[in-house]
Amino acid sequence: MADIFSNKRIEEMMQKMAHGKEPEATEIDHTRPGYTVALMRAFNWYNYEKDLKTSRTYLRSWIKKHQPAEVKNFDAVPDFYMRPVFGWLARLAEHGAKLSPRDQTKLTETVADLLKHSIKEPTEPIIDNSPKRPSIQDALAAKQSEFFGELEGEIDNFILNDCRKTDFSLFKYLQGNNSPKVFGTAVKGLLDRRIDEITQVPHDEQLAEAYGCYTAAQRGRLENFLLELIEDGQRWADFKKANQKVRVKKAKPAGVQVAKLQYLKEFAELGLTSISAPGIIGAQQLWVYNTKNKKLGCYLATGSTGFSVRGTSLQGYDPESSVQRTLRKPDVITKQVLDAGKVQLRKILSDLTTTETKLNGRINADTILLRVL
C-alpha cells in the first residue's frame, strides 16, 4: 500500500500542527506531491484554532494588498456572506503558499462575489451608541465554521484509516447536536469541489500530481465517503424540514375582520335589521338578503373553523353549496328564515321555484345580514 503521507515536508508540517503551531504556508506548493492533503490539513487547523472574525481579518489583508481600492467595500460586507475557508486560503497565500491556478481563481472569484453584497453607507452617518450584540447570522456562521472544523477532522480520520470506514455517522452527529437544517445542506457546498477534483484526477495532470499520494482504490473510497457525508447532510435537512413546527397564524379579532365590511344595517320596507357583523366570524351558516335584486342567499362554511372576513368578502364558504334564489314574496320568506329551526331552514331555498345561482362571497351596501348559525 502506498504511503499517503510520503512527502517528508508534509509529515513535518503535520507534526508541528499537532503541537498547536500554525501550518507552514511555504510547505504548501501545488507543484509538489501531496498539495491537496497539505491544504486540507491546513484548513482543518484553522477551523479548530481560529474563528470567523480572524478569517475575515486574513481576507481583508489579502484584499488590501491585491485590491486596495476595495477594502472599504469589503468592510461593509455582512458576516453572513463570509465563508471562513477563503480567509484561510488568503492567509496561506499571503505567507508564501503556492496555490494551484484553480484555487487562485476561486479566491479571486469569491472576493468579487463578496463585494457585491457590500452595504453602502447612508449619505448622513447614523450614530448608534447602543451596545453591539452578535446578530443571529453572526452566531450561526460561527457555529457553522465550528461544524466544518469537526467535519474536516472526521475526513482526516478517514484518510488516516487508509481511507476506510470509521464509526462516524454524520446524521447521528447532527441529530445528537440538534443542528440547524442549514448545516445539512451546507455539507454539499463544502465537499462538492473536492469530489469534483477526485473524479477529474485521470484527466488533469495537476490533480493527478496533487492526489499522487493516494492509490486509485483510496481515491474511490474517499469519494464514496464524501458522497455519504453529503447524503447524510441532505437526509438531516429533510428530517428537520419534515419535523419543523408549523407556524400557526394568529387569527384577527372578529371586530377587526369585519371593520371594512359594507352591509345594510336596516331595511324599513320589510322591517329587517342586520345581525351584528362580528357574529359572522366562526359561524357555519350565513343567510343574506339583497334588497336591490330581492335575492335570498345562504352561505355554508367548508370547515369547523367557520367563516372569516377579508375586506368586504366572506372567506371559508363552500362555493358549490352556497346558493341564492329570487324571492317573489320577500316579506313572507324572510320572516320564515328568521323564525325557522335548523330543519325547516334546509327546505326554504329548495322549495322556491325561481332559478338557483351560486353566491360569490361579496357583501355590499344593499345586503342585509339576516341570520347566522
Q: Alpha-carbon distance 213 to 60, whole Å?
A: 34
Task: Give Cα separations from 311 to 156, 302, 315, 334 (angstroms).
Answer: 61, 19, 10, 26
pLDDT at 372: 94
Instruction: Give me the residue spans of the domains in the chain.
Output: 8-243, 254-372
Q: Please provide the size of the chain in residues.
A: 373
Quote the cell numbers at residue 91.
492567509
Task: Give Cα separations from 370 to 76, 267, 316, 341 (angstroms).
Answer: 62, 11, 18, 14
Q: Alpha-carbon distance 332 to 348, whole Å?
A: 11
The residue to which cell 449619505 is assigned: 123
pLDDT at 315: 93
pLDDT at 2: 40
Quote the cell numbers at residue 275.
345581525
Interaxial angle between packed helices 35-49 and 84-94, expressed in degrees from 0 to 180 and rounded to the nearest 10:
120
Which amino acid does the sequence have at 189?
Answer: G
Q: Alpha-carbon distance 39 to 194, whole Å?
A: 12
Question: Which residues, in sequence order, are CB contacts of 284 under 8 Å at separation 6+?
Answer: 300, 301, 306, 307, 373
pLDDT at 62: 94
122-151 burial by CB neighbour count: b if 16+ within 10 A, else e? eeeeeeeeeeeeeeeebebbbbbbebbbeb
pLDDT at 336: 92
Quote the cell numbers at residue 246.
408549523
pTM: 0.41
pLDDT at 126: 58
In 3D, which of 42, 68, 67 has the Cα closest to residue 55?
42
Neighbours of 223 (CB within 10 A): 19
- Per DSSP, the residues of 155-221 read HHHHHHTTS---S--HHHHHHHTT--HHHHHHHHHHHHHHHHHHHHGGG-HHHHHHTTTS-HHHHHH
Q: Is 297 helix (H, G, I), strand (E, B) or coil?
A: strand
pLDDT at 38: 85
Q: Alpha-carbon distance 370 to 368, whole Å?
A: 6
One digit per residue, pLDDT tens: the chain, 373 residues? 344 444 444 444 444 444 468 899 888 998 888 888 888 888 888 888 888 899 999 999 999 999 999 999 899 888 878 888 889 999 999 999 999 888 888 899 889 988 888 876 554 555 666 666 767 877 888 888 888 888 888 888 888 888 888 889 999 999 988 888 888 888 888 888 889 888 888 888 888 887 888 888 998 999 999 999 999 999 998 888 888 777 777 778 999 999 999 999 999 999 999 999 999 999 999 999 999 999 999 999 998 889 999 998 999 999 999 999 999 999 999 999 999 988 899 899 999 999 999 999 999 999 999 999 9
Q: Do residues 359 and 324 touch, judged by C-beta distance below 8 A? A: yes
Q: Alpha-carbon distance 361 to 346, whole Å?
A: 20
Quote the cell numbers at residue 27.
510547505
